[in-house]
Chain A
Amino acid sequence: MFNRVMIVLALWAGCDSNGGGGCSSPVGDDATKPVIDEVKAVSSTVIAGDTTSVAGTARDLNGEMLDYVWSKSAGTFEGPLTNSSIIWRAPAQVGNKTVTLVVVNESGKSATKSVTIMVTNVPTPIVIIDYPTAADFIPSSAGTVNIQARITNTSDVDSAKCFIDGTFLAKLSNTQNPTFAWNVSGLSGPHRVTVQAWSDFAVPGQQKTDSAFVTVNIEGTIGKPVR
């Protein structure tokens, strides 16, 4: 086993770090080499910092046992690296990245195959406040008003917060359609409603955020006592 790994490492050192295209197969009888039928990523496009599973399907024509050795042009692996599938975490840098599988049989023969995975930026969320709309007039007798927002351009919303005149009102997590309850009883005059959303992003400090605001007029009324 140790010898086979050393052979693979020696072979791997001669490979093009950008993938299997430039990596030559070991010299020898093809009939004694293992065959990699496929190396496939569950997601061919991954958001920076996110993970995907990569699996290889290989066989040995002589029925020998195979060792799996994984390498990558960027990013990191998570979990065991000696199985036919691994977990790859994309780097923060965007672009095409490769994950390469080398399989080695008991005879020390090897085969190599790579898969290219596109790493993209985490999409910036776009916040839209559907209700209330700008310059709406809302009587204070309305009591509780539901502020309805939509978060588009990403399906991975970490959280959304609502602020009234810059003061925190509420926070909701993991929803693209947050609704915030705002009690307008006893209010009168213009108020600024802001909704800010953050996309879900695994790399600390690189969350994307967007916010939207509307200014509405609360029209004072005398009705029920303000609690």
Chain B
Amino acid sequence: MTRTFWLAIALLIPGCKDLAHDNPLDPNNPDGKADQIVVVENYIIKNTKSGTVAPPYNQYSQDALYGLTDIYDERMLILEYHMIPVDTAYQDSLATADNEFRYVNEYQGGANRGFPHTFFNGKQKAIQGASNSDLVRTRYQAVLDSATAQKVGFFCYAEQSISGSMLTIDVQLVRYGTETNLEDVRIEYIVFENKGGSSQFTVRKILAPASASLPAGKIFEPPAKSVDIAGFDVSKTGVVVMIKDPTSKRVLQANLAVRRN
């Protein structure tokens, strides 16, 4: 018995040593790189005012992005921020002041106000306007091909759980051991709802961001975030978590929260 026990231990020890560290949540993953997930933040106006018809530029943009979801699948996360029209000829019933604030303070920069205004992984790469779906799709695809081909030195994992009208988000950030420490990043939480049709990624709530520093070779877990989503269709509500450089406004990594319940 004793002999058999020690033999088994002797066999197990080298086996443990050779365990593959290919889990993206393993900070000792020897690959040290994760796929870059690209957040496409599309600032749009969809006219909901009866009796007026807006030019279809925003629809062109949305059609183009929706048509690309099959190509990039989980590597691309779309968020649609509905904006308040300056032109009183139009209205957008899904527009929010939070969306306005985010556009003006985080993304617009020196650009003139005009929608669609589409940002790829933050402020640095943007395409404004659309004159037809095919052309703008080609432009989007060129950006996405390049962005999704990147690898980054950390991984973001998020889960969402719902209790009553409260949505709670838990996040784990993994900075691989082969990288240097990542200081002073911002974690942003964007709640969206699939309202069907051409409103499948409608941003409903923008949570207060959190700050973090990611030591190499460690998993960082910020405190869970909760938000009241009363009135939302729970089954169609999701959360995108993105890690952003607060200075350049570049999205470093992101992910869609996995539904826990």
What is the interface of chain A, defined by CB distance below 8 A to chain B? 137-143, 188-190, 217-225
Given contacts A142-B112, A223-B115, A218 and B87 within 8 Å (CB-CB): no
- Complex Cα distance A143/B129, Å? 12
Q: How far is the CA of A190 from the CA of B129 in the complex (A)?
A: 13
On whether the beta carbons of A223 and B113 are closer than 8 Å, the reply is: yes
Contact of A222 among B88, B114, B135, B136 (CB under 8 A): B114
- A188 lies within 8 A of B112 (CB): no
- Please classify how large the interface on chain B is, using the bins under 10, 10 to 19, 20 to 34, 35 or more: 20 to 34
> A53 to B112, alpha carbons, bound, how many Å?
55
B129:A137 contact, CB within 8 angstroms: yes
Q: Once the chains bind, are A223 and B87 in contact (CB under 8 Å)?
A: yes
Does B135 contact A217, Cβ atoms closer than 8 Å? yes
27 chain-A/chain-B pairs, Cβ below 8 angstroms: A137-B129, A141-B111, A141-B112, A141-B113, A141-B114, A143-B112, A188-B57, A189-B131, A190-B131, A217-B131, A218-B129, A219-B127, A219-B131, A219-B136, A220-B131, A221-B115, A221-B117, A221-B129, A221-B130, A222-B45, A222-B57, A222-B58, A222-B87, A223-B114, A224-B113, A225-B86, A225-B89
Determine the distance from Cα of A101 to Cα of B117 in the docked complex, in whole angstroms: 74
For chain B residues 117-136, which have a beta carbon within 8 Å of chain A? 117, 127-132, 135-136
| Bound-state Cα–Cα, A142 to B113, Å | 8
Who on chain A is nearest to B85 by CB?
A: A222
Query: Which B residue's beta carbon lies closest to that of A218?
Result: B131
Which chain A positions have C-beta within 8 A of B117?
Answer: 139, 221
Contact residues in A for B130 (Cβ distance below 8 Å): 219-221
List chain A residues, Cβ under 8 A from B177.
Answer: none
Complex partner residue of A224 from B58, B87, B132, CB under 8 angstroms? B87
Residues of A near B136 (CB, < 8 A) are 219
4 closest Cβ contacts across the A-B interface?
Answer: A141-B114, A219-B129, A221-B114, A223-B114
Q: Verify A188–B87 contact, CB threshold 8 A.
A: no
Task: Tell me the complex Cα distance, A190–B132, Å.
Answer: 10
A188 contacts B114, C-beta separation under 8 Å: no
Q: In residues 129-165 of chain B, which contact A (Cβ within 8 Å)?
A: 129-132, 135-136, 139
Smallest distance from the beta carbon of B118 to chain A beta carbons, Å?
Answer: 10
Q: Are B139 and A139 in contact (CB under 8 A)?
A: no
Does B32 count as interface, using CB distance less than 8 angstroms? no
Check if B14 is an interface residue, CB within 8 A of chain A: no
Interface flag for B27 (CB, 8 Å): no
* Complex Cα–Cα for A218 and B129 (A): 8
Are B86 and A224 in contact, CB atoms less than 8 angstroms apart? Answer: yes
Distance of A190 Cα from B128 Cα, bound (Å)? 15
Which single residue of chain A is at the shortest CB-CB distance from B136?
A219
CB 8 Å contact bits of B50-62 with A (1 = contact, 0 = none): 0000110110100
